[in-house]
């Protein structure tokens, strides 16, 4: 695997991010799809248990930390991010020495409803307040009433934080953070779209490895300068004809959260068969957060975070995937049926029927390596490539 040079920078950046967390005065544990802009605007440091879960998976320690939760009665059928993060709390450590304790918790259910129960448990463990941003599921079109419901809660949330920190939010600061968020997402989207080149300068594995800043540092200068650099490196690759997969023959799209503990294996598997996973639905989900309007900030925050990828109907998801298939000119779709992530995996068999290119489903889990059977996955993927 030809890693991007920026991956090293990303590692340092994220090490710094985790370290800063311990020094921060006010910390919130937040879900990946929560409007982090409000937190950054109020100098609240956001901690991302999901990113931490991915890190545990990549370190191949999923089953180890999950055990701490399972021994206390948490079912193995629960999300492995939740199991591992809660497991680390019980273990009192983690690959990064444990996450810094929260001052409060902020869960937005636009990605799943597991986060609600997960954060309620955290709230009981840490004895800190929890704010749940309840977002209605958008089966078809987004209604005015949906927006008003979410907007009201955003205003409540700002008051909730103001009360906790004893300070008022500065509207201009929120605007400033939002502008940075928009810029970072724009650059990030431009990075991903570089894969439109044939052959592609990057794979979705590069996207996965380098996605942490858009998740955790969206709204800061760090994310902006990181993706600027990543974009430059990709442009250089295109100019100098450096391709992610030397003899790119098949162009594929990945669906669902990565199999973190098998990134290298999967990346080598595809590269050795001249197949390039040029894009994925997962990292693309963050490009939607760039539609913020600085003139009407609260309302557009409500909108952007309500129509997130896992909070919309199957038909809309199919439209998005077919859009990606067309844009990136892919020959097939590899769908990871993720034992952990029900909202992401549940509709896959239905979606599969409506895609414009062939697809294959592999069964695994994003973090729990016990759910991965190498021989089974290899046979399905090989047969799929033979078919294409």
Partner 1 sequence: MISAGIDIGSLTAKCVLLSDSKILAYKVTRVKPKIEETAREVFEETLKIANVRREEVLSVFSTGYGRSRVEFADKAITEITCHAVGASFLIPSVRTVIDIGGQDSKVISVENGRVVEFVMNDKCSAGTGRFLEVMANALHLKLEELGSIAMKAEKKITISSTCTVFAESEVISYLSSGEKIEEIVAGICDAIASRIVAMATRVGVREDVVLTGGVAKNLGVKKAIEEKLGIPVKVPEEPQIVGALGAAVLASRKKNI
Q: Which is nearer to partner 1, 167 or 383 (CB)?
A: 383
Stretch that binds partner 1, among 19-27, 124-132, 211-219, 377-385 (CB under 8 A): 377-385
Burial class (CB in 10 A: 0-12, 13-18, 19+), 145: exposed
Min CB(378)–partner 1 separation in Å: 8
Contact 65, 91 (CB under 8 A): yes
| Residue list 125-154, contact with partner 1 (CB under 8 A) | none
Q: Between 113 and 247, whose beta carbon lies closer to partner 1? A: 247
Beta-ladder partners of 132: 107
CA nearest neighbour of 169 among 313, 51, 66, 298: 298
Among residues 168 and 379, whose Cβ is nearest to partner 1? 379
The single residue among 127, 141, 239, 375 that binds partner 1, judged by CB under 8 A, is 375
> What is the smallest separation between the CB atom of 340 and partner 1, expressed in angstroms?
15
Q: How far is the CB of 282 from partner 1 (least distance, A)?
A: 22
Binder of partner 1 out of 9, 101, 117, 380 (CB under 8 A) = 380
**Site string (208-247) toward partner 1, x via CB under 8 A:** ----------------------------------------
Tokens 């701490």 belong to residue: 68
The footprint of partner 1 on residues 331-370 (CB under 8 A) is 349, 358, 363
Site string for partner 1, 290-309 (x = CB under 8 A): --------------------
What pairing do the DSSP bridges indicate for beta strands 332-338 and 250-255?
Answer: parallel
* CA angle at 381 for the pair 379 and 384, rounded to the nearest 5°: 105
Q: Which residue has the tokens 């309500």?
A: 306
Output 323 or 358, the one with its CB closest to partner 1. 358
Q: Closest by alpha carbon to 36, among 218, 187, 165, 179?
A: 218
Distance CA 96, CA 94 (A): 5
Residue closer to partner 1, measured from CB, 76 or 380: 380
Minimum distance from residue 347 beta carbon to partner 1 (Å):
14
Residue 272 as a binder of partner 1 (CB under 8 A): the answer is no
Binder among 93, 168, 356, 376 for partner 1 (CB under 8 A): 376
How many amino acids of this chain bind partner 1 (CB under 8 A)? 13
Closest to partner 1 by CB, 296 or 382: 382
User: What is the smallest separation between the CB atom of 387 and partner 1, expressed in angstroms?
Assistant: 4
Give the Cβ contact number of residue 136 at 10 Å: 16
383 is a contact residue toward partner 1 (CB under 8 A): yes
User: Of 294 and 379, which has the nearer Cβ to partner 1?
Assistant: 379
Strand order in the sheet with 27-30: 45-47, 27-30, 104-108, 130-133
Instruction: List b or e across 93-102, with b for residues whose CB sees 16 or more CB atoms inside 10 angstroms.
Output: ebbbeebbeb
Q: How far is the CB of 363 from partner 1 (least distance, A)?
A: 5
CB of 117: closest distance to partner 1 in angstroms?
26
Site for partner 1 in 32-71 (CB under 8 A): none
* Beta carbons of 195 and 234 less than 8 angstroms apart: no
Q: How far apart are CA 208 and CA 284, in angstroms?
A: 10
Question: Which range, of 43-51, 139-147, 209-217, 379-387, touches partner 1 by CB under 8 A?
Answer: 379-387
Candidates 71, 55, 50; CA nearest to 10 is: 55
Nearer to partner 1, 189 or 332 (CB): 332
Query: E strands of the chain, at which residues?
Result: 27-30, 45-47, 104-108, 130-133, 250-255, 275-280, 332-338, 359-364
The two tokens of residue 352 are 């599969």
Contact segment (CB under 8 A) with partner 1 among 105-113, 279-287, 306-314, 374-382 equals: 374-382
Rounded to whole angstroms, the Cα distance separating 161 from 191 reads 34
| Shortest distance, position 65 Cβ to partner 1, whole Å | 22
- Which residues of the chain form contacts with partner 1 (CB under 8 A)? 349, 358, 363, 371, 373, 375-376, 379-380, 382-383, 386-387
């Amino acid at each position: 695997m030809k890693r991007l040079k920026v991956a090293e920078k990303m590692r340092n950046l994220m090490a710094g991010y985790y370290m800063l967390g311990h020094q921060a005065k006010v910390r919130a544990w937040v879900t990946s799809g929560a409007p982090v802009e409000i937190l950054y605007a109020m100098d609240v440091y956001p901690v991302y248990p999901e990113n931490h879960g991915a890190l545990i998976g990549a370190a191949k320690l999923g089953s180890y930390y999950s055990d701490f939760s399972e021994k206390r009665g948490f079912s193995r059928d629960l999300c492995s991010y939740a199991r591992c993060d809660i497991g680390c709390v019980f273990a009192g450590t983690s690959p990064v020495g444990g996450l810094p304790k929260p001052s409060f918790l902020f869960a937005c259910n636009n990605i799943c409803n597991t986060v609600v129960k997960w954060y309620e448990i955290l709230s009981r463990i840490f004895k800190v307040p929890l704010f749940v941003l309840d977002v209605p599921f958008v089966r078809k079109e987004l209604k005015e009433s949906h927006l008003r419901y979410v907007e009201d809660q955003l205003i409540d949330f700002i008051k909730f934080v103001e009360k906790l920190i004893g300070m008022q939010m500065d509207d201009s600061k929120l605007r400033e953070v939002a502008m940075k968020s928009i810029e970072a997402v724009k650059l990030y989207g431009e990075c991903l779209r570089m894969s439109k080149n044939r052959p592609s300068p990057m794979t979705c594995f590069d996207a996965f490895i380098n996605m942490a800043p858009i998740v955790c540092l969206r709204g800061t200068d760090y994310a902006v300068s990181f993706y600027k650099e990543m974009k430059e490196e990709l442009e250089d690759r295109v100019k100098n004809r450096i391709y992610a997969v030397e003899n790119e023959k098949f162009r594929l799209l990945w669906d669902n959260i990565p199999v973190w503990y098998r990134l290298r294996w999967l990346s080598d598997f595809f590269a050795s068969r001249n197949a390039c996973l040029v894009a994925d639905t997962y990292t693309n989900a963050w490009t939607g957060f760039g539609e913020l309007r600085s003139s009407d900030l609260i309302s557009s925050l409500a909108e952007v975070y309500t129509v997130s990828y896992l909070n919309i109907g199957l038909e809309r998801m199919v439209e998005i995937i077919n859009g990606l298939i067309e844009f990136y000119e892919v020959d097939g779709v590899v769908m990871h049926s993720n034992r952990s992530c029900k909202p992401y995996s549940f509709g896959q068999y239905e979606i599969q029927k409506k895609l414009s290119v062939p697809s294959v489903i592999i069964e695994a889990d994003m973090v729990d390596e016990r759910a991965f059977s190498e021989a089974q996955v290899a046979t399905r993927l090989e047969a799929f490539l033979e078919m294409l």
